[in-house]
Structure formats: structure tokens, C-alpha cells
């Protein structure tokens, strides 16, 4: 594999591969950096894509959808695409989300049921369904829904039975048998399958090229044989190759991410303000929105590493350094930091700000949130 010139974080990704759902999707991991955002960019599963497209053409999208299939086939990604299609205010030809409007950027509320499977969490989502939303529809994505407790599943079942206008539930699982027959009967199922080799090869080739690498046909064939057409596994292996080929990390950005995350985790407003002053002097030209990218990815890494004992995915450099300082991070505190980041991101997104003003907006919002939680 030869380096072709750009980095994994190249922002000029093709429109159907560019991730628009979470700023954290863009970091070092190729598998999430080039997550598809449209049906046309989704690998394989032509029958499923045709069904989804027909729903929108007929204005008959089911209010509760169950996405099933093996791990790594794109259930969560497809759920996010559907959510963006439901909320985009500037849909392109073929019901393609624009990727730029508020509806695309805030298309859904997501819950990872492996990390948070409690009844109270589902109840909060149900309550959210009855509140006003700034998007056209309220879309809730429950990932790994089989992991919910029995009590939580009961709350979910009741919510699905009651139905609210303009509310859509998208559930994803690779273990549908762990859901009761009654619950499954309230859902419209879509089952994802492994993509044809031709689709797999095209996707891997396009992602590798955009990420700055040239792959031989033999290498792509090897990935297909090794991964059995599992796209996520193949992209993770491709990422390892990218690292070994010498993709350079941004040392300043990594240092800023580590320092800010450490300050936020401390819940100490003084620490956060002190680090902000450091940013103003040491990283004066750094845009806060750009920093949100590795911040979110690093936090996602820490949550995965903390909640999944045998996690073997990519660990961002700031996450590695953080784990050296905080040996056993507290999951609840990490979740609070995640919410604080969301508040900060909202405060400096969509408005033209200088780097210093953006940092001020971000820090004010995050500090206000953390202070309210103490």
C-alpha cells in the first residue's frame, strides 16, 4: 500500500461517503470517517434500499423499524441515513439528505443500549417524544436494543403501542431473538445481508483512494476473503494498514484534546478555565469545531474501552494518554462529559466565530452544563 498524499481526515470526501451525523465520525478511524450518509452510498443490500426508498416515495415510512443482521453490516449507519432523510429540510434528488441543514446534523436521538440499558433511560426518551422538537420529526435510534432490561423493554413496548405523530423509532440488533414476539410484532423489519463482492470491492477502493492510499486488486481481494465481506471489519483492517503506512497524527490537536478532556472530566470549572487560557496562548489558531472532531472520537473510544472489557478497536492517541492518567474512568462521568460536549458543540455550530470567540462560546456552554450537574 502506498500513501497517495492526503490524510484520513480529508474533508473533501464524496457526498455519499461523508459522515454528517456526528462530528466525532471524523478522526483517525477510516471505518467511521467515511461512513455513508445516503442510500446510494450504502454498500450492498439493494433490496433493503429499494424498500426504504419506496417508503419515502409513497410518504409511508413506518413509525417503528427493526434493523437486523450480523455485526458490521451497517445497521446503525442505515438508521442514521433514514433519520436524516426524515429530517432534512433540503432533500436532494432521490431523497438524498443535504448533510448541511440542522435536520441532518441533529437528525436523531441515539441510545447505545449496551452502555445504558435502564428503564429510566427509555422513559426519558418516551418523555422526549411528547415535547416539541426543532426538527421535522422526532427520531430515536436504539442501538443493540436486545441489551435493554426487561423493564426497559416493557416501557418501549408501551411507547410503540401508543404512537405519537411525527415520532419514529429505529431499533437495531444482531440478536432479534432476544426481543419478545409481541415487541417484534410492533416493528417493521429490515434484514441486512453481506454485500456482493463487486459492491464490497468498489466501496473499499473508493474509501482507500479518498483516505490517501492506493490498493491493489490483490489487496482488496485479500480483504474480502479475510473479512467475509464484513464491511466494518475490512475498513478497520484498512485503518491498521493506513497507520502502518505512516499517516501522521496532529500532535498539537492531540495535546489540546487530551488537556481539554482531562479538564472536563475533573468537573472543576477552574481547571477548565485554566486550560482555556492555555489554548488561547498555545493553540490560538485552532478552531473549536475542528477540535470537536477528535474530542468526540476520543470520548467514544474511552466509553467503548471502559464498557467493553474485550474492546480491540482503534484507540485514539489522546485516549491512550488519558487512560495512563485515569486508570479506571467512571462511565457516568464520561457520559456527563459527553453531554457537556454536546452543549458546547451546539453553542459554536452554525455561526461565524473567530477561534477565540468560538472557544469562549464552547467553554461557557460546557461550564454551565457541568455546573448544573454538580
Q: Is the pTM of this model over 0.85?
A: no
pLDDT, tens digit, 9 for 90 and up, residues 272-297: 878 877 776 676 666 666 677 677 77
Q: What angle do CA 167, 171, 174 make, to 5 degrees?
A: 175
Report d(CA 329, CA 323) in Å as an integer.
Answer: 8
- Give percent above pLDDT 70 in the chain: 76
263, three cell numbers: 479538564
User: Which of residues 249 and 149 earns the better pLDDT score?
Assistant: 149
pLDDT, tens digit, 9 for 90 and up, residues 297-306: 788 778 877 8
In the sheet that holds 188-191, the strands lie side by side as 109-112, 138-143, 167-173, 64-68, 188-191
Q: How many C-beta atoms surround the C-beta of residue 321 within 10 A?
A: 18
Average pLDDT over residues 142-149: 93
Q: How many CA atoms lie within 13 A of 93 on its CB side?
A: 0
Which domains are present in the chain? 45-191 (3.40.50.300), 251-372 (1.20.272)
Q: How far is CA 193 from the centre of its chain?
A: 21
Report d(CA 166, CA 237) in Å as an integer.
Answer: 40
Binned at pLDDT 50, 70 and 90, residue 140 comes out as very high
Residue 88 and residue 130 in contact, taking contact as beta carbons nearer than 8 Å: no
pLDDT, tens digit, 9 for 90 and up, residues 178-204: 999 999 999 999 999 988 999 888 888
Beta bridge pairs of residue 138? 167
Max avg pLDDT among 105-114, 139-148, 231-240, 313-322 = 139-148
* Res 312: pLDDT: 59
Amino acid at each position: 500500500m502506498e500513501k497517495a498524499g492526503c490524510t484520513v481526515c480529508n474533508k473533501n470526501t464524496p457526498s455519499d461517503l461523508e459522515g454528517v451525523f456526528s462530528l466525532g465520525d471524523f478522526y483517525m478511524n477510516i471505518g467511521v470517517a467515511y461512513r455513508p450518509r445516503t442510500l446510494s452510498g450504502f454498500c450492498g443490500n439493494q433490496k433493503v434500499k429499494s424498500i426504504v426508498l419506496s417508503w419515502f416515495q409513497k410518504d409511508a415510512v413506518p413509525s417503528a423499524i427493526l434493523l437486523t443482521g450480523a455485526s458490521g453490516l451497517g445497521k446503525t449507519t442505515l438508521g442514521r441515513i433514514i433519520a436524516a432523510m426524515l429530517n432534512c429540510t433540503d432533500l436532494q434528488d432521490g431523497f438524498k439528505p443535504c448533510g448541511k441543514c440542522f435536520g441532518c446534523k441533529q437528525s436523531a436521538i441515539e441510545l447505545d443500549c449496551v452502555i445504558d440499558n435502564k428503564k429510566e433511560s427509555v422513559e426519558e426518551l418516551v418523555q422526549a417524544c411528547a415535547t416539541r422538537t426543532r426538527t421535522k420529526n422526532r427520531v430515536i435510534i436504539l442501538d443493540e436494543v436486545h441489551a435493554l432490561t426487561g423493564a426497559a423493554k416493557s416501557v418501549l413496548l408501551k411507547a410503540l403501542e401508543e404512537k405519537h405523530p411525527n415520532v419514529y423509532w429505529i431499533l437495531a440488533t444482531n440478536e432479534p431473538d432476544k426481543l419478545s414476539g409481541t415487541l417484534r410484532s410492533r416493528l417493521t423489519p429490515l434484514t441486512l445481508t453481506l454485500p456482493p463482492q463487486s459492491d464490497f470491492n468498489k466501496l473499499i477502493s473508493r474509501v482507500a483512494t479518498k483516505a490517501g492510499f492506493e490498493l491493489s486488486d490483490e489487496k482488496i481481494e485479500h480483504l474480502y476473503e479475510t473479512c467475509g465481506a464484513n464491511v466494518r471489519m475490512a475498513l478497520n483492517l484498512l485503518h491498521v494498514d493506513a497507520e502502518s503506512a505512516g499517516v501522521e497524527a496532529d500532535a498539537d490537536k492531540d495535546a489540546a484534546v487530551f488537556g481539554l478532556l482531562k479538564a472536563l472530566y475533573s468537573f472543576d470549572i477552574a481547571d477548565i478555565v485554566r486550560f482555556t487560557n492555555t489554548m488561547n496562548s498555545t493553540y490560538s489558531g485552532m478552531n473549536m469545531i475542528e477540535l470537536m472532531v477528535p474530542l468526540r472520537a476520543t470520548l467514544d473510544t474511552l466509553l467503548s474501552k471502559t464498557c467493553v472489557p474485550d474492546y480491540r478497536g482503534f484507540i485514539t492517541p489522546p485516549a491512550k494518554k488519558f487512560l495512563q492518567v485515569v486508570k479506571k474512568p467512571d462511565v457516568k462521568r464520561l457520559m456527563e462529559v459527553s453531554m457537556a460536549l454536546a452543549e458546547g458543540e451546539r453553542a459554536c455550530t452554525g455561526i461565524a466565530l473567530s477561534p477565540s470567540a468560538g472557544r469562549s462560546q464552547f467553554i461557557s456552554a460546557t461550564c454551565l452544563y457541568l455546573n448544573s450537574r454538580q
